Amino acid sequence: MSLERSEVESIAQLARLKIESADVESYAKSLNNILELVDQMQAVDTEGVEPLANPLDATQRLRADKVTEDNQREHFQKTAPLVEAGLYLVPKVIE
């Protein structure tokens, strides 16, 4: 399987990464090298093998739905690029 230019562009869009048009080729090349490496997986018969997501086969531990943290909005917003009146500011979304 080999990625075309347009596929690299659409992956970049899904990943929310801006890629300069001049760099698409080199991304395609290095991604194709990696895909070539991982394609050896396809030779193995894994029919009926249960996928392993957690190495200990553990399932998600749940906790009681209780408030355990104080509201520290101001403290956490100190690291934000742009806030106003306790809100995170981003470019206009709705006209």
Partner 1 sequence: MINKTLAELSSGLESGEFSSVELTKAYLDHIATEDKKYHSYITVTGDLALKQAKAADKRRSEGNADKLTGVPIAHKDIFCTQGIRTSCGSKMLDNFIAPYESTVTTKFNEAGAVTLGKTNLDEFAMGSSTESSFYGPTKNPWDLDRVPGGSSGGSAAAVAANLAPAATGTDTGGSIRQPAAFCGITGIKPTYGRVSRWGMIAYGSSLDQGGPMTRTAEDAALMLNVMAGFDPKDSTSVDREVPDFTAKLNEPLKGLRIGLPKEFFGAGLNPAIAEATLAAVKQFEAMGAVVKDISLPRTELSIPAYYIIAPAEASTNLSRYDGVKYGHRCTDPVDLFDMYTRTRAEGFGEEVKRRIMIGTYALSAGYYDAYYKKAQQLRRLIKDDFTKALSEVDVIMGPTTPSPAWKIGAMKNDPVAMYLEDIYTLSVNLAGLPGMSIPCGNVEGMPVGLQVIGNYFDESLLLNIGHQFQKETDWHAKKAV
| Residues in contact with partner 1 by the rule CB under 8 A | 3, 8, 11-19, 27, 30-31, 33-35, 37-42, 44, 46, 49-56, 58, 60-61, 63, 72, 75-76, 78-82, 88, 90-93
Q: What is the smallest separation between the CB atom of 2 and partner 1, expressed in angstroms?
A: 12
CB atoms within 10 A of CB 50: 7
Pair of tokens at residue 35: 């895909």
Nearest residue to 5 via CA among 26, 64, 15: 26
Indicate the residue among 41 and 85 with the shorter CB distance to partner 1.
Answer: 41
Q: Is 68 helix (H, G, I), strand (E, B) or coil?
A: coil
Q: What is the smallest separation between the CB atom of 66 and partner 1, expressed in angstroms?
A: 12
Q: Which residue has the tokens 């596929």?
A: 7
Pair of tokens at residue 83: 């806030």
Q: What is the smallest separation between the CB atom of 85 and partner 1, expressed in angstroms?
A: 16
Indicate the residue among 33 and 71 with the shorter CB distance to partner 1.
Answer: 33
